[in-house]
Chain A
Amino acid sequence: MSVDAEVTESAAEGAAEKKGWLKGVREGLSKSRKALGQQLASILLDRFDDEVWEKLEETLIYADVGVAATVKIVQSLEEAVDAGQITESGELLAKVREITADMLRADEHRIDVDHQPAVIVVCGVNGTGKTTTIGKVAWHLKELGKESILVAGDTFRAAASEQLEEWGRRAGCRVIRQKQGSDAGAVVHDGVAAGQSSGADVVIVDTAGRLHTQKNLMKELEKVVRVTQKLVPDGPHEVLLTLDATTGQNGLVQAKLFAESVDVSGVVLTKMDGTARGGIAIAVTQELGLPIKLMGVGEKVEDLRPFDPDGFSQVMFEEGVLGS
């Protein structure tokens, strides 16, 4: 059984005072001075002159879409206009959303937990939200009747294991950990083994934050993955890379190097409840073929959403922030 959009949504519905993500984001956008929707709303009244294109470019850059992808999108739009597909400014917005959504679409957006146990390794740069995401994933799995074991593979950071233990409490899961400074590979080995012997449905492995530029740490990550493979030969079934939505163009090289080291199966775009629109996700999907699978939308355990390219594009290019 895979975790698909429907199921995740229904699980989240049970949560107390759930604020619709789109509503929350709209409110966030309304507070931001750089509300993208407002900018685009202003160009909808104009004809297709240079100012329109510049405004569009500005909107895309502000969303961290990056120069290369912006050029691609603007080119596609220009072609559509030249081909007579767009004749009114109102259609421009819809077309931008369509192009962007298509760029974000991937073959597989779902999380694969169809194994016994399914092994998920979570990796990423420091501060991107790995441990928090693990707590959320574990909670959502629990709502689906799946038991998880959390493995405190971050043996470097002060109180990292304690942090995961707290998430274990919130999600109602067991946490396997050792002292700070222990060998990460050893903890992961114990954790996966415990998962197998206890009949857990899912084993979720936390790892230390690391910069993709630190070769020795990337090698350590490769070792951690190999350790899981020793016990579960066809695993890990998911290697999720957390990517902070506020990250700029460096996000692409981050994803690239992590994917080169370990077989990243999907990306979790975290902190989408801020004002950053996470446009770097477009480059990550387009240039590296990495699917965005999940989105973090807050600090509470329920604040996790399946990634939906159309919804994402809708928010990125929203028409009139207050109201519609």
Chain B
Amino acid sequence: MFDSLSEKLQSALGGIRNQGRLNEKDIDKVSREIRLALLEADVNYKVVKDFVRKVKARAMDAEVLKSLNPAQQVIKVVNEELTALMGSSSGKLEFSSRPPTVIMLVGLQGSGKTTACGKLARFLVAQGKNPVMVAADVYRPAAIDQLKTLGAQLDVPVYEQGADANPVDIARNGVDWARDNGRDVMILDTAGRLHIDEQLMDELAKIRKSVKPHNILLVLDSMTGQDAVNVAQEFQDSVAFDGVILTKLDGDARGGAALSVRAVTGRPIKFASTGEKLDSFDYFHPDRMASRILGMGDVLTLIERAEQGLDEQKAAEMEKRLRKSRFTFEDFLDQLDQVRNMGSLQSILGMIPGMSSGKLKGMDVDDKDFDRIRAMILSMTPEERQHPEMIDGSRRVRIAAGAGTNKQAVNQLLKQFKQMQKMMKQLGSGRAPSNPFQMLGM
């Protein structure tokens, strides 16, 4: 939908090559693009204003690496500032030396609290903990049923007192139950509530006072717009949450709300929820979020290559040469649909002269996987598609998240693809086809 920010910046600066410091005109040009990108990503208006001001100031002072053009220069500053703003680490949970450790989840309606309870429980079980989930949402129809169903799925007990009890009592009794039953962690689900609902916010404060949670996590939908700051501020004032669980990250929302909440409350995003299944839950990685917010997955590539001292023009030429003798993910993507229409990949590959069953082994591409593979490739940046060898661990995680699959699937794809590339080289007689299916006369 949007050009990547790096592309916009490149065109804004017209590829000027400057030596020495960046001039103010250059910086003003890019400030506008950065501001636009952040607003489009739902970062709070005021946070954007402050951020751009900071970037401008740094860019003016910045020492220019000879190998970086002005656009890259500014991107570098933006990325660093954004990463600093997001925080260097996600911050872990606090565990009490006197169990149970109480973790209280709060947030607006529909943000994903109850599902997050289940996910957190599963996450903690995997760490060797014995959690209990406490159902203190007495307002939402079947909320207690929902938590009980999750508990049954996970084999984690659920403490509840039905929908007619008082949430403060439920919470307090839940702590006692946890202690009496040897549960070392208590995860407290609360009802979704508006930050402007005085009565319900008071209730939350009462629960907090009574139960004294060791961790209070605000569950925030990653597609939240400008209102995120209002919500965070009010919840901060009422219950002083320690961190955020950012949900629905498997969507394509840029997630600027995360940045806003961090900037305004100082609280870190602790966990990321990346799907509806209970295993789609992990610690949050601030650096990758920065790229997502800016819509510039390939920014690190630009910086990394520039810092390696590669002259951009030389690199482009080299790339052209390489492309001719390389089968890339870009090519693969182009051919994917055509191939699918024609029949199984394996049978087609089998038709290629010189292809023995031995070579095909390990390259098995199930037709059912086509959509998944396509999604993964689309999740890659153009740069990554051209140079799959650069796709390291953290990029794989990002690609997996973007395609709604897991890292193992990405690993498998890359492994298969590497073999395919090797095979292409072998098949070619000096001049390997950019399209392996050309050989079949398509």
Task: Using CB atoms and an 8 Å cutoff, list the residues of chain A in contact with chain B.
Answer: 28, 31-34, 58, 61-64, 66-67, 125-129, 131, 156-160, 162-163, 165-167, 170, 180, 211-216, 244, 246-251, 253-254, 271, 273-276, 279-280, 299
Residues of A within 8 A of B148 (CB): 159
**Contact, CB under 8 Å: B45 / A275:** no
**Of residues A126, A157, A160, which shows the largest number of chain B Cβ atoms within 10 Å of its Cβ?**
A126
Which of B12-20, B63-71, B251-259, B331-339 sits within the interface?
A: B251-259
25 A-B residue pairs with Cβ-Cβ distance under 8 Å, sorted by A, are A61-B39, A126-B112, A127-B110, A127-B248, A129-B109, A129-B110, A156-B276, A157-B146, A158-B149, A158-B153, A162-B141, A162-B142, A213-B251, A213-B252, A246-B225, A246-B227, A247-B225, A248-B226, A249-B225, A250-B252, A250-B254, A254-B223, A271-B110, A273-B194, A276-B230
Q: Known contacts being A127-B110, A129-B109, is A63 close to B226, with CB within 8 Å?
A: yes
Residues of B within 8 A of A251 (CB): 223, 225
Residues of B within 8 A of A250 (CB): 42, 223, 251-254
CA distance A279 to B227 in the complex (A): 11
B265 to chain A, nearest CB (A): 13
**Contact, CB under 8 Å: A246 / B42:** no
**Of residues B221, B225, B226, which shows the largest number of chain A Cβ atoms within 10 Å of its Cβ?**
B225
Secondary structure type dominating chain A contacts? loop
Residues of B within 8 A of A131 (CB): 141
B224 interface residue (CB < 8 Å to A): yes
Contact with A along B27-50 (1 / 0, CB 8 A): 000000000100111100100000
**Contact, CB under 8 Å: A276 / B251:** no
**Contact, CB under 8 Å: A127 / B142:** no
Within 8 A of A (CB), among B1-32: 1
CA distance A165 to B145 in the complex (A): 12
CA distance A127 to B109 in the complex (A): 7
Beyond the given A28-B196, A67-B36, A213-B404, could you list 11 further A-B residue pairs with CB under 8 A, ordered by the A residue number?
Answer: A158-B149, A162-B142, A163-B143, A166-B141, A246-B227, A249-B40, A250-B253, A271-B108, A275-B195, A276-B227, A280-B225
**Of residues B108, B223, B251, B404, which shows the largest number of chain A Cβ atoms within 10 Å of its Cβ?**
B223
Name the residue of chain A whose CB is nearest to the CB of B45: A61
CA distance A212 to B252 in the complex (A): 9
CA distance A131 to B142 in the complex (A): 11
Residues of B within 8 A of A159 (CB): 142-143, 145-146, 148-149
**Contact, CB under 8 Å: A211 / B250:** yes
Residues of B within 8 A of A170 (CB): 141
Residues of A within 8 A of B312 (CB): none
**Contact, CB under 8 Å: B196 / A31:** yes
B371 interface residue (CB < 8 Å to A): yes
**Contact, CB under 8 Å: B146 / A163:** yes
Name the residue of chain A whose CB is nearest to the CB of B139: A299
**Contact, CB under 8 Å: A213 / B250:** yes
**Contact, CB under 8 Å: B226 / A274:** no
Q: Known contacts being A156-B276, A163-B146, A249-B40, is A32 close to B250, with CB within 8 Å?
A: no
**Contact, CB under 8 Å: A248 / B149:** no
B300 interface residue (CB < 8 Å to A): no
B144 to chain A, nearest CB (A): 8
B88 interface residue (CB < 8 Å to A): no
Residues of B within 8 A of A299 (CB): 109, 139
CA distance A62 to B148 in the complex (A): 39
Contact residue among B41, B194, B223, B256 (Cβ-Cβ distance under 8 Å from A247): B223
B199 interface residue (CB < 8 Å to A): no
A242 to chain B, nearest CB (A): 10
**Of residues B108, B118, B139, which shows the largest number of chain A Cβ atoms within 10 Å of its Cβ?**
B108
Residues of A within 8 A of B254 (CB): 249-250
Residues of A within 8 A of B225 (CB): 64, 246-249, 251, 276, 279-280
CA distance A213 to B41 in the complex (A): 17
CA distance A167 to B143 in the complex (A): 13
Name the residue of chain A whose CB is nearest to the CB of B118: A158
B375 interface residue (CB < 8 Å to A): yes
**Of residues B45, B226, B229, which shows the largest number of chain A Cβ atoms within 10 Å of its Cβ?**
B226
CA distance A126 to B145 in the complex (A): 18
**Contact, CB under 8 Å: B223 / A274:** no
Q: What total of chain B residues lie within 8 Å of the partner, measured CB to CB?
A: 51
B220 to chain A, nearest CB (A): 10
CA distance A242 to B1 in the complex (A): 22
**Contact, CB under 8 Å: A215 / B375:** yes
B150 interface residue (CB < 8 Å to A): yes
**Contact, CB under 8 Å: A158 / B141:** no
Contact residue among B40, B108, B142, B146 (Cβ-Cβ distance under 8 Å from A274): B108
Contact residue among B150, B252, B253 (Cβ-Cβ distance under 8 Å from A158): B150
B292 to chain A, nearest CB (A): 12
Name the residue of chain A whose CB is nearest to the CB of B250: A211
- List the 6 closest A-B pairs by CB distance, nearest first: A248-B225, A127-B110, A248-B42, A166-B141, A158-B149, A276-B227
CA distance A311 to B132 in the complex (A): 47
Residues of A within 8 A of B250 (CB): 211, 213-214
CA distance A211 to B40 in the complex (A): 19
**Contact, CB under 8 Å: A248 / B253:** yes
Name the residue of chain A whose CB is nearest to the CB of B149: A158
Contact residue among A63, A125, A162 (Cβ-Cβ distance under 8 Å from B223): A125
Within 8 A of A (CB), among B113-171: 118, 139-143, 145-146, 148-150, 153
B72 interface residue (CB < 8 Å to A): no
Within 8 A of A (CB), among B41-88: 41-42, 45
B255 to chain A, nearest CB (A): 9
Name the residue of chain B whose CB is nearest to the CB of A298: B194
Contact residue among B112, B118, B146, B221 (Cβ-Cβ distance under 8 Å from A246): B221
**Contact, CB under 8 Å: A275 / B196:** yes
B96 interface residue (CB < 8 Å to A): no
Q: Known contacts being A167-B141, A244-B110, A275-B196, is A125 close to B371, with CB within 8 Å?
A: no
Residues of A within 8 A of B45 (CB): 58, 61-62
**Contact, CB under 8 Å: A64 / B371:** no
Name the residue of chain B whose CB is nearest to the CB of A280: B225
B244 to chain A, nearest CB (A): 15
Residues of B within 8 A of A214 (CB): 250, 404
**Contact, CB under 8 Å: A125 / B149:** no
B233 interface residue (CB < 8 Å to A): yes
B291 interface residue (CB < 8 Å to A): no
Residues of B within 8 A of A215 (CB): 371, 375
Residues of A within 8 A of B153 (CB): 158
Residues of B within 8 A of A128 (CB): 110
Contact with A along B365-406 (1 / 0, CB 8 A): 000000100010000000000000000000000000000100
B242 to chain A, nearest CB (A): 22
Name the residue of chain B whose CB is nearest to the CB of A250: B253
**Of residues A158, A170, A214, which shows the largest number of chain B Cβ atoms within 10 Å of its Cβ?**
A158
